[in-house]
Amino acid sequence: MSPTGETLASRQFVEMPRTRIEGLLASFPKLMVPGQQHTTVETDTIRYLYQPIGEEMYAVLITSRQNNIVQDMDTLHLMARAVSDICDVGDQQDVVLHGFDVILAFDEIIAQGYRDNVDLAKLRTIMEMESHEEKIQEIIERNKEREAKQELKRHAKMFDQQ
């Protein structure tokens, strides 16, 4: 999230109406006090945990006040490190450009609303894994391109002979 409240990448792990999420995200910059050492803001029912990422961005985790704050802080730190690992720190456009990878990393960190037992090293390994189906699809695409080029050459040769 940018300091102005613009959401760069977002992932929801609990069923909640979109308008409620947008309202929570919109109210965060108003609740945050810049320059403060605390990285939490609480309302009656919601806890915002945030961590600066570079100069112009924040990683924000919104939880209920009943959640374990120590586990939530650990989750937030891992999410912030994942964003820093995937994107150029401080470049908002880079976060938007790699938004899909960021969200995939979030999905590996949190599954069905609960933190998975992963660290940054495991997360890197998971994110670098290649799909067997993806490789097969790439081979098929290369073969189709090669066949199309050969067909084009045959048509060109036939055209030249006429």
Distance CA 39, CA 27 (A): 16
Residue 77 pLDDT exceeds 80: yes
Give the global pTM. Answer: 0.65
pLDDT for 114-137, tens place per residue? 677 777 778 777 777 766 777 888
Mean pLDDT over 16-21 rounds to: 84
For residue 150, the model assigns a pLDDT of: 92
For residue 131, the model assigns a pLDDT of: 67
Residue 147 pLDDT exceeds 90: yes
Q: Assign 3-state DSSP to the chain and report helix, strand, coil percentages, each to 5.
A: 55, 15, 30
Residue 139 pLDDT exceeds 70: yes
Q: What is the mean pLDDT of the chain?
A: 81
